[in-house]
Amino acid sequence: MNRSARAGRLARLAALGAVACAAPTLAACEASSAEETDPSASAAAMQSTAVDGGASTDEELASRLEGFAAAAEIDGLDLASETDSPVTTASEHFDETWVVEPSACTELYDATGLGTGDDHGAAADDLVDPVGFFVEGGAMPSGSEPVHSVYVQTRVFGDEEVAASLYPSLIEADCSAYSWTSTWDDGSVSAEHTLDELAEVDLEGLDQPSIRVVYTGASSVLYDADGEVVEEDTREEGWNTYIHVEGPYAIAIAVGGEEDPDALAARLIGEFLDHMNAG
């Protein structure tokens, strides 16, 4: 997939309201040609260049994290292969520069995608898996029409205190709307999100609380290198994003078009925790 095509997909994901673009996952969209040639490359194979001392040096843990994508099942939905990315490190995953306005919403923007201010420091070697979109038929829509979709992203923190910082970053944010822009050599994308609720919630069957962010809409514009508009998308329907942290494990889930999003999120979170703790 060439860069402009990946950028176009990024814009569509922004309008769909995924956590994929509530945090800077352009890094995942900008996978290397080697990774694109072999999208099934195992997480373990990526560990040979990892920095000593981080979670990324644990091949068994990386493989277990990667394995959740195959273990996760959502009725009526399949994982879209074009959004599935291999396990990587926090420093690699969050390697793009972006600007959030107002700047006070930056921590919220980061945290909804499991990002922190330590991703290029002490937490650089944390494991991140941008699992991808689960959609009807396993094929991403061509535009921004409302769809039944679930986006999943997971992370293993090397420091539980850093993991615990996600909740304050969300709860203490005072943001009813924000925009973000990411720029690269031959283009850029700008997106706007509006939200209605940000609260700590107790989901059924879980021992620890989760954070629920209720979005009311989103829009995005993709530009080429000359600043000309390439693609515009708007989503007027809302969706819920859930962030759950338990010990070193964290999961973010964006749910759209689901009759009972709380129940679906609770089930996926429980399955993720069971999967990770089974090792």
Give the chain's residues under pLDDT 70: 1-57, 96, 142-146, 279
pLDDT tens per residue across span 93-127: 887 678 999 999 999 999 999 999 999 999 999 99
Contacts for 195 with CB less than 8 Å, ≥ 6 apart: 175, 176, 177, 213, 214, 215, 216
> CA triplet 6, 66, 73: central angle to 5 degrees?
90
- The beta-strand segments (E) located in 58-126 are 78-79, 88-89, 98-101
pLDDT reported for residue 16: 55
Phi, psi values for residue 266, rounded to 5° = -60, -40
In whole angstroms, give the CA distance from residue 153 to residue 240: 14
pLDDT reported for residue 236: 81
How does the average pLDDT of the chain come out, rounded?
A: 81
* CB-based contact 119:91 (threshold 8 Å): yes
Full 3-state SS string of 236-263: CCCEEEEEEEECCEEEEEEEECCCCHHH
pLDDT reported for residue 200: 97
pLDDT reported for residue 66: 93
Contacts for 245 with CB less than 8 Å, ≥ 6 apart: 163, 164, 166, 167, 208
Phi, psi values for residue 273, rounded to 5° = -65, -45
pLDDT reported for residue 146: 54
